[in-house]
Amino acid sequence: MSVAFAGSSITSPSREAGPLRVMIVDDSVVIRGLISRWIGAEHDMEVAASLRTGLEAVNQLERINPDVAVLDIEMPELDGISALPQLLAKKRDLVIIMASTLTRRNAEISFKALSLGAADYIPKPESTRETSAADVFHHDLIQKIRHLGARLRRKPAVASPPLAPTSPAAPAARASAIARPAAPAPAPQTLFPGAMSTRPFSSQAPKVLLIGSSTGGPQALMSLVTELGPVIDRFPVLITQHMPPTFTTILAEHLARSSRRPSAEAIDGEPVKPGRIYLAPGGKHMRVVRNGAEAAIALDDGPAVNFCKPAVDPLFTSAIDIWHGNILSVILTGMGSDGMRGGKDIVAAGGSVIAQDEASSVVWGMPGAAANAGICAAILPLNQIGAKVNRLFAGDRA
């Protein structure tokens, strides 16, 4: 979601040590109580305040001085989307996580909130009596608070230096899950002290673009696809963004406007063709399967992978059976390590992986996992990825 927070760029820590101070703003006493208990059970965070309205949050912000605010959308006196810019005007490095129930209206408001400076969003369960839904909300909220709040604990990252070409080396010592023989993948090379190890780009021409993203991903994706018109016109583009249902519907519409190309949630069984963007729908894993001579979408309702549904790894791994080593994959900002294992399989099959760099990522979890695993051919700022992708699909191999 480089994409910095629009209108509020976290540039310096509010404190060097101590637990993260979290302000809960929600008109539901039940939700406030739940979140307060969850935060109180964590060693690295504390409840700074529990408030009923956005107006209370704005008026008391200086006194409370929170690091993170969990901000409901629908509240009396001053709703979340109205309170958001006022809170950021008073404290530009405040991390704001919007919370809302899963309705189309609230999904659209959440996207607007991201453009106004919110760090992220989280869907609230319709009923806290639904144990599984409450458990997911609990896990995701604590992780978002912790990882987004960690930006306050570190100095601004230095952008990755330009990567010099590397020469092929011995094949990576890893048993491939692919039955067919593949060209051996050159081992990663360390370019200079402190640099991430990278490997050469594949010598095989890419025939498909796969993208995985999570926290910070919506803004990153909307920025990236504006540059990918030449690729989208000639090759299929498939995206998995960690998102719930309804939110992926809205994201697909935003991607269509940004790219000026057809973009929609993928439909089970539909053929995969150039000229459009296929987005994994919320709550379903998206894979690619062979249907005669064509590639087709396969959606499934299986268990979460890497705590996510949809997850990136199923898409990445399934694509190898269709395009073998002719795959270019991009891993954008996000928490966790989803995409790293699938990226390893792609590299073992002869394809390539690009990761977003730390400086331009909202959370350097997913791309960082891939970079640290040594599977990337490039680690680039967001504003350089589109141009690189275009060159690779146009025939560049370096």
Q: How many CA atoms lie within 13 A of 3 on its CB side?
A: 29
Residue 392 identity: L
Yes or no: say if 99 and 124 are a contact pair by the CB < 8 Å rule.
yes
Q: Pick the catalytic residue: 120, 313, 338, 357?
A: 338
The string of DSSP codes covering 68-120 is EEEEESS-SSS-HHHHHHHHHHH-TT-EEEEEEES-HHHHHHHHHHHHHT--E
The reply to whether 139 belongs to the active site is: no
Query: Which residue, among 390, 363, 379, 374, has the nearest Cα to 95 in the 3D structure?
Result: 363
User: Which residue matches tokens 């965070």?
Assistant: 45
The string of DSSP codes covering 257-276 is HHHTS-EEE--TTPBP-TTS
Q: Pick the catalytic residue: 242, 254, 285, 324?
A: 242
The reply to whether 242 belongs to the active site is: yes
The reply to whether 8 belongs to the active site is: no
Yes or no: say if 51 and 25 are a contact pair by the CB < 8 Å rule.
yes
Q: Pick the catalytic residue: 14, 214, 318, 352?
A: 214
By CB neighbour count within 10 A (0-12 exposed, 13-18 middle, 19+ buried), where does 280 fall? buried
Measured in whole angstroms, the distance separating CA 291 from the mean position of its chain's CA atoms is 30
Catalytic residue numbers read 214, 242, 338
